[in-house]
């Protein structure tokens, strides 16, 4: 079979390499000669750069001569020879034919994914016999049985194979881990990694676990130094806070700019709110709409010198997402699927019915002592108390209670993930294509939390002729997400999980008539199981399309025009049926909401590269960009439906007195000019200068345009002669960059406006619309400016077996966007302003090591990130709260400090005379300067002054900084092993030195213990609280003192190490069926197997009050390439 195919190919080229050609060239280089041939025929040349000289010494004048003859005539003069294969002409060094060769060997060279590699150098070790692979990765040569073949290719590790008895040697080359020649994507272009002057992290898609994650954002946790990914919610497709080098902005957001295939996405979310009381469905990630399987690479531009080309939007870093392109050659069809199950990792320990009743009785008794001031809460004689002690539950009720209803279990389930992905890519005569289809379906561990996504993609590039190329990348996604109420509000607005934790465990789900049972004690919280009858879903659609036309009218001068749009819309439907508590009150409530955004982009760039005397390499870029952002929304709702049948599909059938409608619209424009100069001297000294001017209608009238310059230099020390002999050192480079970038995410805050929304008043029976001034103008309002210094070292040892980089950065954000407080007595008492400065410092370390090669391959990747964000300077007009200090961390948490529990018989502190046993003493740490009457004595600046020491009064001056939620440092460690057909990937990441407020304890434990008498369930830990018979406890009694409450005991240490994934793969040997299947791999994957942490809540990363529980995921998958 193979032979037949090969034979056919030989015949084909036998016909075509003899095609006649006419040429008339004078003093051209070899490359120019080949270009000419390529333009006149369908052939493409394949060769190695080292074979080419640049001498313009070729002159040829022929008419209608056979192509092969013409080419060979020219090549002869250069000691080269040509081999024709299909429509490829492979050029190799002319070799003397060794008479000792004994057999013909054929084979195919691919990368480790089975994609053919073109132009791989194949030589017999220790000789000059060799060839290179053709367009389809195939090669053939005559060799001795004893010889060893050496396969080498740029960016891949060289491999050797002993021939032995084989007739065919197929080989898959491994990509080099630390290649200096690796190409990375930067703003408006690409660059060799070795030429970079800025701080750029690159993540290749193949290293990301795609099986149990909806978006690439979820997969980046711990993957790149300088990138902190904090998952806000563990729900399917849950939101992610992605931070590049910390979060130094306080009022304009810290989201990086995402650029997908050259299109800067605006970041507007099209998630309409619903008009039912449960508007909070958790958070969702805008990158859910991009199929992670389509992604080729992700580059994170971190420092100002790399990002300044994106000007006013670049201050939080830029994430460049590049999708896969087709390669010329036969079509590669890939199909993969995976299926997984999910289990809740950690449940909150709540009381069962028996425990609940016992604890309620115990609390009622304690409360009777407390309320009636009986010892130890006072000196009242219990016999004189007329108010008798009443226990909520009788002995027999407790005896028959059992475990009762576990509401949490009733609203949760085993989760399921199911994904199919198919892609076809390839290319013919200048046209390259990549198409894909993805289906992802996840049924989350909480009932009704489902996520279904369909995406399709077409990427096409076409080299039309020698001068003009064009292309398109287009992806469409359609996501259906069911919305479960995840709000952290309480009582009537309780979300599903909040209700499930709170609900009385002593009552059954339904009564005898089949109606949902209601707690008699807590009637504002709906029966959690009834909430599963709410129909609420959102469908979001996105078409992201970007096209380009590019021309090269003269060599190395590239003109490019990009045109694209990002069309997104979201539709939300919700119905609260009458079987639910609040559905009943409203007579059923239906709503529909629509949100749509349409962003347009026009970009033109001019790129020119040239060199002077072969040592000065210069690259110039200039460009113009126009982007327009449009956002609009519409919503309608109605209630009082006679039937639940219509759901949200017949709003007109409701009989509400005043059905609600609303709509909104906004638009903004960004106009930009930018340029860059790259200069490379002798590959040793590198310089990059960039600048951008951004204009936006969102900025104040006096500040319409911003200018953002940057510059960076790099020194490739290893290229210097004096390091040439240090053979263990394979790379050493120093980089220094400075630059300014902006954050223009200021909303429409610069202008005065009046609103007519939510200003109603009722006259008669009619709601009248009022107006009010809502915002003051600030004509000087402008973007935030970040000035950043970056120092970087890239290093490599032992031929890049160990390599990495270290970065240090220092940035200062000035003109922080925020709201300046005006006097509280003013009609509008804040105004948008550029206030104060923050600073952020940090270090990043990336290490990659190839520990072992050979049969067992073991690679390790390690990264560490540390940053500290602090205030540097605050607005002098801003009135700080007494506990805030000038240079506090940006996301600081404050509390009164607890100072132990007042014991029985202990005298309370003099400043807490009403404190009772079992209540927290509060530390007196500070106070205000007062005169003898107690009046505050203001300082010269008119502000209050502090005693900076105890003053015998507990007031707000005693609130202190207790820490921050931001990790002090975070790291990721990945290990990859390969042994024969097996591969294993183990990845850990962690965050350290941070605190989290365990808000679940705040509601279901001691601070709210009194609600046990209102039928609210509690965590089992409440039984450890202080009481008359447990006076040694260090947890308070739960009877709130009249003094400020310290909350520091609810803030827990929350460092963690998460085993993010363990993936084991097995590549099925496919030699026998390789014409059908070129590669097949099965894999098993465990995500989030365990977390090591001192935090007692659900999860140290994704937890919030009654938060969506994090899961273990066990997945199995198959990946086949045809």
| Residues 689-708, interacting with other proteins (CB under 8 A) | 695-698, 704
- Work out how close the CB of 771 gets to other proteins at its nearest, in angstroms, rounded to a whole number: 5
1077 binds other proteins (CB under 8 A): no
C-beta separation of 960 from 843 below 8 A: no
- Work out how close the CB of 896 gets to other proteins at its nearest, in angstroms, rounded to a whole number: 12
> Would you give the DSSP letter of residue 644?
S
The residue among 735 and 1011 lying less far from other proteins, judged by its C-beta, is: 1011
Count of Cβ atoms closer than 10 Å to residue 2 Cβ = 13
1072 binds other proteins (CB under 8 A): no
Under rule CB under 8 A, which residues in 332-391 are in contact with other proteins? 387
With tokens 């001056």, the residue in question is 957
The residue among 158 and 702 lying less far from other proteins, judged by its C-beta, is: 702
523 binds other proteins (CB under 8 A): yes
The residue among 686 and 831 lying less far from other proteins, judged by its C-beta, is: 831
64 binds other proteins (CB under 8 A): no
Q: Based on the number of CB atoms within 10 Å of its own CB, is 579 exposed (0-12), middle (13-18) or buried (19 or more)?
A: middle
72 binds other proteins (CB under 8 A): no
882 binds other proteins (CB under 8 A): yes
- Work out how close the CB of 623 gets to other proteins at its nearest, in angstroms, rounded to a whole number: 10
Under rule CB under 8 A, which residues in 195-214 are in contact with other proteins? none
> Would you give the DSSP letter of residue 1088?
S
Residue of 126, 825, 1032, 1072 interacting with other proteins (CB under 8 A): 825
Q: Which residues share a beta bridge with 329?
A: 427
413, HSE (Cβ side, Cα atoms, 13 Å): 14
**How many chain residues touch other proteins (CB under 8 A)?**
98
- Work out how close the CB of 606 gets to other proteins at its nearest, in angstroms, rounded to a whole number: 7
Nearest by Cα to 305 from 739, 679, 694:
739
The residue among 343 and 630 lying less far from other proteins, judged by its C-beta, is: 630
**Binding range to other proteins, per CB under 8 A, among 238-246, 323-331, 753-761, 836-844:** 753-761
Cα 694–chain centre separation? 26
DSSP assignment of 542-577 equals EEEEEEEEEE-SSTTEEEEEEEEEEEEEEEEEEEE-
C-beta separation of 516 from 531 below 8 A: no
The residue among 123 and 817 lying less far from other proteins, judged by its C-beta, is: 817
The residue among 6 and 754 lying less far from other proteins, judged by its C-beta, is: 754
Under rule CB under 8 A, which residues in 454-513 are in contact with other proteins? 467, 491-492
Cα 234–chain centre separation? 14
Q: Which residues share a beta bridge with 263?
A: 260
Residue 251 Cα distances to 232, 741, 779, 783, 819, angstroms:
19, 16, 18, 11, 8
Please state, in angstroms and rounded to a whole number, the distance separating the CA atoms of residues 1109 and 1019: 16
- Work out how close the CB of 26 gets to other proteins at its nearest, in angstroms, rounded to a whole number: 22
**The residue count for the chain:** 1122
- Work out how close the CB of 526 gets to other proteins at its nearest, in angstroms, rounded to a whole number: 11
524 binds other proteins (CB under 8 A): yes
394 binds other proteins (CB under 8 A): no
Residue of 389, 532, 717, 1013 interacting with other proteins (CB under 8 A): 1013
SS3 736: strand
828 binds other proteins (CB under 8 A): yes
Under rule CB under 8 A, which residues in 907-926 are in contact with other proteins? 914
The residue among 72 and 759 lying less far from other proteins, judged by its C-beta, is: 759
**Binding range to other proteins, per CB under 8 A, among 23-31, 266-274, 345-353, 751-759:** 751-759
**Binding range to other proteins, per CB under 8 A, among 156-164, 297-305, 1040-1048, 1079-1087:** 1040-1048
- Work out how close the CB of 823 gets to other proteins at its nearest, in angstroms, rounded to a whole number: 5
Residue 1088 Cα distances to 63, 415, 973, 976, 1114, angstroms:
69, 14, 14, 17, 9
Please state, in angstroms and rounded to a whole number, the distance separating the CA atoms of residues 579 and 575: 11
- Work out how close the CB of 997 gets to other proteins at its nearest, in angstroms, rounded to a whole number: 19
The residue among 639 and 1111 lying less far from other proteins, judged by its C-beta, is: 639
Torsion sign across C-alpha atoms 51, 56, 62, 63:
positive
822 binds other proteins (CB under 8 A): yes
The residue among 931 and 1032 lying less far from other proteins, judged by its C-beta, is: 931
639 binds other proteins (CB under 8 A): yes
Cis amide prior to 206 (ω within 30 degrees): no
160 binds other proteins (CB under 8 A): no
**Residues in contact with other proteins, shown as a per-residue x/- string from 926 to 965 under the rule CB under 8 A:** ----x--xxxx-x---xxx--------x-xx---------
Residue of 27, 42, 102, 771 interacting with other proteins (CB under 8 A): 771
DSSP assignment of 918-974 equals TSEEE-----B-B-TTS-B---TTSS--B-SS--S--SGGG-EEEEESS-SEEEEEE
The residue among 126 and 876 lying less far from other proteins, judged by its C-beta, is: 876
The residue among 626 and 806 lying less far from other proteins, judged by its C-beta, is: 626
- Work out how close the CB of 824 gets to other proteins at its nearest, in angstroms, rounded to a whole number: 6
Determine which helix (DSSP H) or strand (DSSP E) holds 771, and give its type and residue range: none
- Work out how close the CB of 697 gets to other proteins at its nearest, in angstroms, rounded to a whole number: 4
602 binds other proteins (CB under 8 A): yes
With tokens 């150098």, the residue in question is 121
Residue 8 Cα distances to 1, 426, 1010, angstroms:
11, 21, 86
Residue of 25, 148, 879, 1089 interacting with other proteins (CB under 8 A): 879
Please state, in angstroms and rounded to a whole number, the distance separating the CA atoms of residues 605 and 590: 50
**Residues in contact with other proteins, shown as a per-residue x/- string from 527 to 556 under the rule CB under 8 A:** ------------------------x-xx--
> Would you give the DSSP letter of residue 650?
-
**Residues in contact with other proteins, shown as a per-residue x/- string from 649 to 668 under the rule CB under 8 A:** --------xx----xxxxx-
Under rule CB under 8 A, which residues in 561-600 are in contact with other proteins? 561, 581-582, 584-586
> Would you give the DSSP letter of residue 738?
E
The residue among 498 and 1110 lying less far from other proteins, judged by its C-beta, is: 498
Q: Which residues share a beta bridge with 157?
A: none
C-beta separation of 420 from 337 below 8 A: yes
CA 440-1103-1063 angle, 5° bins: 45
With tokens 């690259």, the residue in question is 619
The residue among 602 and 729 lying less far from other proteins, judged by its C-beta, is: 602
The residue among 204 and 773 lying less far from other proteins, judged by its C-beta, is: 773
Which token pair is 752? 């005065």
> Would you give the DSSP letter of residue 311?
G
**Residues in contact with other proteins, shown as a per-residue x/- string from 245 to 284 under the rule CB under 8 A:** ----------------------------------------
Q: Based on the number of CB atoms within 10 Å of its own CB, is 565 exposed (0-12), middle (13-18) or buried (19 or more)?
A: middle
1068 binds other proteins (CB under 8 A): no
**Binding range to other proteins, per CB under 8 A, among 23-31, 138-146, 602-610, 1053-1061:** 602-610
Residue of 3, 26, 97, 520 interacting with other proteins (CB under 8 A): 520
> Would you give the DSSP letter of residue 495?
-
Residue of 760, 886, 906, 1024 interacting with other proteins (CB under 8 A): 760
> Would you give the DSSP letter of residue 198?
S
Q: Residues 881-920, buried b or exposed e (16+ Cβ, 10 A)?
A: ebbeeeebbbebbbbbbbeebbeeeeebbebbeebbbbbb
- Work out how close the CB of 176 gets to other proteins at its nearest, in angstroms, rounded to a whole number: 39
- Work out how close the CB of 624 gets to other proteins at its nearest, in angstroms, rounded to a whole number: 5
Please state, in angstroms and rounded to a whole number, the distance separating the CA atoms of residues 115 and 136: 9
């Amino acid at each position: 079979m193979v032979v037949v195919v090969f034979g056919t190919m030989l015949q084909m080229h036998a016909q075509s390499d003899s095609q006649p050609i006419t040429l008339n060239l004078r003093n051209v280089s070899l490359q120019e000669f080949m270009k000419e041939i390529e333009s006149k025929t369908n052939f493409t040349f394949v060769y190695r750069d080292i074979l080419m000289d640049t001498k313009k010494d070729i002159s040829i004048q022929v008419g209608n001569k056979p192509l092969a003859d013409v080419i060979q005539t020219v090549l002869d003069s250069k000691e080269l020879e040509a081999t024709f294969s299909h429509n490829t002409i492979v050029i190799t060094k002319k070799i003397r034919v060794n008479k000792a060769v004994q057999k013909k060997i054929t084979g195919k060279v691919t990368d480790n994914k089975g994609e053919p590699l073109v132009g791989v150098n194949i030589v017999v070790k220790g000789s000059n016999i060799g060839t290179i692979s053709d367009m389809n990765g195939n090669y053939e040569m005559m060799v001795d049985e004893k010889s060893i073949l050496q396969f080498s290719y740029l960016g891949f590790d060289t491999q050797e194979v002993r021939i032995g008895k084989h007739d065919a040697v197929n080989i898959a080359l491994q990509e080099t881990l630390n290649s200096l020649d690796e190409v990375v994507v930067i703003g408006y272009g690409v660059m060799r990694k070795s030429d970079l002057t800025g701080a750029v992290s690159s993540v290749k898609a193949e290293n990301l676990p795609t099986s149990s994650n909806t978006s690439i954002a979820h997969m980046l946790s711990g993957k790149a130094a300088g990138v902190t990914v904090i998952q806000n919610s563990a729900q399917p497709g849950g939101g992610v806070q992605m931070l590049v080098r910390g979060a130094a902005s306080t009022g304009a957001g810290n989201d990086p700019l995402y650029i997908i295939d050259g299109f800067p996405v605006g970041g507007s979310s099209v998630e309409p709110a619903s008009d039912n009381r449960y508007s909070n469905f958790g958070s969702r990630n805008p990158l859910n709409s991009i199929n992670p399987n389509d992604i080729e690479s992700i580059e994170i531009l971190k420092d100002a010198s790399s990002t300044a080309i994106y000007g006013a939007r670049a201050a939080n870093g830029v994430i460049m997402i590049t999708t896969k392109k087709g390669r010329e050659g036969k079509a590669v069809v890939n199909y993969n699927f995976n299926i997984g199950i999910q289990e809740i990792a950690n449940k909150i320990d709540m009381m069962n019915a028996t425990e609940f009743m016992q604890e309620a009785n115990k609390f009622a008794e304690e409360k009777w002592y407390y309320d009636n001031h009986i010892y130890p809460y006072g000196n009242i004689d219990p016999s004189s108390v007329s108010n008798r002690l009443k226990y909520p539950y009788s002995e027999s009720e407790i005896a028959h209670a059992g475990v009762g209803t576990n509401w949490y279990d009733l609203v949760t389930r085993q989760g399921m993930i199911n994904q199919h992905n198919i892609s076809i890519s390839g290319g013919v005569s200048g046209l390259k294509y990549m198409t894909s289809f993805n289906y992802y379906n996840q049924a989350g561990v909480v009932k009704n939390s489902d996520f279904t996504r369909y995406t399709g993609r077409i990427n096409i590039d076409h080299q039309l002729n020698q001068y003009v190329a064009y292309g398109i990348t287009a992806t469409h996604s359609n996501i259906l997400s069911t919305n479960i109420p995840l709000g952290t509000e309480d009582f009537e607005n309780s979300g599903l999980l909040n209700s499930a934790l709170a609900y009385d465990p002593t009552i059954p789900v339904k009564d005898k008539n089949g109606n949902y049972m209601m707690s008699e004690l807590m009637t504002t919280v709906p029966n959690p199981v009834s909430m599963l009858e709410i129909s609420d879903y959102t469908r979001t659609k996105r078409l992201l399309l970007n096209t380009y036309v590019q021309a090269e009218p003269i060599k190395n001068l590239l003109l490019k025009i990009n045109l694209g749009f990002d069309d997104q819309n979201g539709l939300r439907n919700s119905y609260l049926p009458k079987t639910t508590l609040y559905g009943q009150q409203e007579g059923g409530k239906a709503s529909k909401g629509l949100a749509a955004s349409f962003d347009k982009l026009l970009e033109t760039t001019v790129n020119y590269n040239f060199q002077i005397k072969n040592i000065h390499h210069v690259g110039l870029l200039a460009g113009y960009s126009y982007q327009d952002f449009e956002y609009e929304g519409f919503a309608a709702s109605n209630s009082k439906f006679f039937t639940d049948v219509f759901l949200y599909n017949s709003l007109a059938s409701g009989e509400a007195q005043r059905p609600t409608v609303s709509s909104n619209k906004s638009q903004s424009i960004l106009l930009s000019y930018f340029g860059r100069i790259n200069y490379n001297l002798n590959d040793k000294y590198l310089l990059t200068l960039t600048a951008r001017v951004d204009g936006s209608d969102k900025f104040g009238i006096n500040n319409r345009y911003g200018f953002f310059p940057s510059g960076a230099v790099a020194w490739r020390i290893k290229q210097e002669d004096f390091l040439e002999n240090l053979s263990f050192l394979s790379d050493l480079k120093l980089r220094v960059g400075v630059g300014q970038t902006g954050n223009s995410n200021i909303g429409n805050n610069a202008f005065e406006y009046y609103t007519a929304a939510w200003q109603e008043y009722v006259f008669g029976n009619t709601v009248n619309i009022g107006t009010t001034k809502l915002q003051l103008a600030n004509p000087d309002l402008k973007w935030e400016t970040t000035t950043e210094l970056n120092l970087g070292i890239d290093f490599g040892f032992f031929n890049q077996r160990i390599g990495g980089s270290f970065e240090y950065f220092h940035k200062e954000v000035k003109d922080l966007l925020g709201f300046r407080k005006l006097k509280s007595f003013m009609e509008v008492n804040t105004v948008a302003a550029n206030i104060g400065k923050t600073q952020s410092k940090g270090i990043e370390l990336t290490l990659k090591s190839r520990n072992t090669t050979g049969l067992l391959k073991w690679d390790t990747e390690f990264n560490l990130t540390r940053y500290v964000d602090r205030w540097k300077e605050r607005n002098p007009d801003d009135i700080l709260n007494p506990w805030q200090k000038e240079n506090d961390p940006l996301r600081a948490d404050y509390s009164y400090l607890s100072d132990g529990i007042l014991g029985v018989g202990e005298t309370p502190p003099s400043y807490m005379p009403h404190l009772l046993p079992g209540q927290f003493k509060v530390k007196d740490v500070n106070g205000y300067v007062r005169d003898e009457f107690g009046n505050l004595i203001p300082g010269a600046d008119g502000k209050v002054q502090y005693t900076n020491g105890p003053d015998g009064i507990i007031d707000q001056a005693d609130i202190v900084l207790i820490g921050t939620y931001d990790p002090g440092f975070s790291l990721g460690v990945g290990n990859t092993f390969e042994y024969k057909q097996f591969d294993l990937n183990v990845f850990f990441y962690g965050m350290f030195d941070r605190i989290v407020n365990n808000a679940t304890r705040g509601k279901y434990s001691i601070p709210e213990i009194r609600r046990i008498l209102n039928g609210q369930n509690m965590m089992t830990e409440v039984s450890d609280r202080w009481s008359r018979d447990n006076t040694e406890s260090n947890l308070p009694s739960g009877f709130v003192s009249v003094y400020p409450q310290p909350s520091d005991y609810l803030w827990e240490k929350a460092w963690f190490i998460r085993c993010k994934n363990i993936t084991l793969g097995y590549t099925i040997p496919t030699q026998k069926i390789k014409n059908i299947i070129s590669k097949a791999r099965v894999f098993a994957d465990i995500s989030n197997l365990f977390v090591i942490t001192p935090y007692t809540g659900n999860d140290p990363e994704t937890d919030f009050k009654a938060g969506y529980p994090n899961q273990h995921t066990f997945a199995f998958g198959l990946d086949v390439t045809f």
